[in-house]
Copies of this chain bind each other. A is one copy, B any other.
Amino acid sequence: MERKILRTECPDSKGLIAGITGICFEHQLNIIRNTEYVDPVSGQFYMRTELEGQFNDAALLQQLDQMLPAGSERSLLPVSRRKRMVILVTRESHCLGDILMKVFDGSLQLDIAAVVGNYPELADLAERFGIPFHHVCHLDKSRQAHEQALLEVIESYQPDYLVLAKFMRILTPDFVERYPERIINIHHSFLPAFIGAKPYQQAFERGVKIIGATAHFVNNALDEGPIIEQMVSRVDHNYSAQDMAKAGRDVEKAALTKALKLIQEDRVFVHGNKTVLL
């Protein structure tokens, strides 16, 4: 008995649920949980089906391909396979630390292949958890040369996803295009409020009563990719910009690790510039 996730994405038409679940039934697979969404504007259909049983992947997928309309995407992913992540950091430790702690205690079931920093400060923390750390310094390098150096390290690990855990550098379009829907960033504001640099300073100057953090996929427009998760925390006039930044750490790490959990469970579908979480 194995457990797998079937993900389906295609233009909507009548009978899709019946068709897909019917094929699963023919294969004598048990549906543990089924969640679907049809976007009423675009008419795009999304479904996540958690299946249990004995799988004949090739036959199952072939039957699905015959039934599904043109332009469909589907995948069948074993629950037991851990996704492989490379984490990029700068100097702040709270997001990296929370990921490492959650992998340590089983709250996240991911493989952290390596940590790459443009500063060396977090080498010690990564190594305490037995994770290789690479210092790829950006000083005295062009942006292209630095990204080339990053890519060499990253590619040696063949990751499924890159996690920007407070990586404070903007990536070029060339870099981003290599990992479509595979780079997850934590932005330290409640996007789209306070796009860009120093969001806590901006929040302080605006006098907001709530701060937030946003975990999102990175695309080529700064701070504009599909949002996966957002969390917030109350502040008041007693908070300096630095106090807000400190208070923000807890929501940053919580939003990022929640997003990673959703990725781990194959729940995140990208629909244009949005996510559908099933």
Question: Which residues of A pack against B, CB within 8 Å?
Answer: 14-19, 21-22, 24-25, 28-38, 40, 92-94, 97-98, 101-102, 104-105, 107, 125, 128-129, 190-194, 205-210, 212, 226-232, 236-238, 240, 246, 249-250, 254, 271, 273-277
- Expressed in whole angstroms, the Cα–Cα distance for A21 and B24 within the complex equals 13
Q: Which of B30, B129, B227, B250 contacts A206 (CB 8 A)?
A: B227
A270: min CB distance to chain B, Å: 10
Asked whether, in the complex, the Cβ of A208 is within 8 Å of the Cβ of B230, the reply is yes
- Expressed in whole angstroms, the Cα–Cα distance for A191 and B237 within the complex equals 16
Residues on B with beta carbons closer than 8 Å to the beta carbon of A271: 237
Residues on B with beta carbons closer than 8 Å to the beta carbon of A227: 206-209
Residues on B with beta carbons closer than 8 Å to the beta carbon of A14: 25, 28-31
Copies assembled? 4
Residues on B with beta carbons closer than 8 Å to the beta carbon of A32: 38
- Expressed in whole angstroms, the Cα–Cα distance for A164 and B169 within the complex equals 40
Residues on B with beta carbons closer than 8 Å to the beta carbon of A274: 206-207, 237
Residues on B with beta carbons closer than 8 Å to the beta carbon of A28: 14
Q: Which of B18, B38, B101, B276 contacts A97 (CB 8 A)?
A: B101
Q: Which of B34, B40, B101, B254 contacts A101 (CB 8 A)?
A: B101
Q: Choose among A28, A40, A93, A209 the residue with the greatest number of B CB atoms under 10 Å from its CB.
A: A209
21 CB < 8 A contacts A-B:
A14-B31, A17-B21, A18-B25, A33-B36, A33-B38, A34-B34, A35-B35, A94-B107, A98-B101, A104-B125, A128-B128, A190-B193, A191-B193, A191-B206, A206-B227, A208-B227, A209-B228, A209-B229, A232-B232, A236-B277, A237-B275
Asked whether, in the complex, the Cβ of A206 is within 8 Å of the Cβ of B193, the reply is no
Closest residue to A270 on the B side, CB-wise? B207
Ranked nearest first, the 6 interchain pairs of A and B with the lowest CB-CB distance are A207-B274, A18-B21, A193-B193, A97-B101, A15-B25, A128-B128
Q: Which of B190, B193, B236, B254 contacts A250 (CB 8 A)?
A: B254
Residues on B with beta carbons closer than 8 Å to the beta carbon of A19: 25
A276: min CB distance to chain B, Å: 4
